[in-house]
Amino acid sequence: MTQILTLKDIPEDQLKRLLLIETLYEKGLNSVQITDFLNSHQISTPTGLSYNPKLVWVTHNKFQKRKKRINNTLVSVDQDYFYIKEGVKFWTV
């Protein structure tokens, strides 16, 4: 089962990096240019490493998907049971 993640669950320093990367993409920079910008300003990954173009692209792509999931999530409970899609699990309330 996939857990719905929100932006408030992202640590503040990581969220700032994600928003910076998003802003740079919106200004027209590509992954290589964003990598150069981040590394020249000594902005490292959450694990303390330098950025590379692939990591910048993947980071931005995952952030966009997360925002889309948040915006497209609708939870509706109108029955007294639910199924877990993995197979035989069934709960009643």
Overall number of domains in the chain = 1
Is 54 a member of any domain?
A: yes
- Output the pLDDT for position 93: 44
Mean pLDDT of 53-68: 94
pLDDT at 19 over 60: yes
Whole-angstrom distance, CA of residue 18 vs CA of residue 27:
14
Is 59 a member of any domain?
A: yes
Give per-residue burial for 61-83: e unless 16+ CB within 10 Å, then b.
Answer: eebeebeeeeeeeeeeeeeeeee
The boundaries of the domain holding residue 48 are 11-92
pLDDT at 89 over 70: no
Q: What percentage of the chain carries pLDDT values higher than 70?
A: 67
Is 4 a member of any domain?
A: no
Is 27 a member of any domain?
A: yes
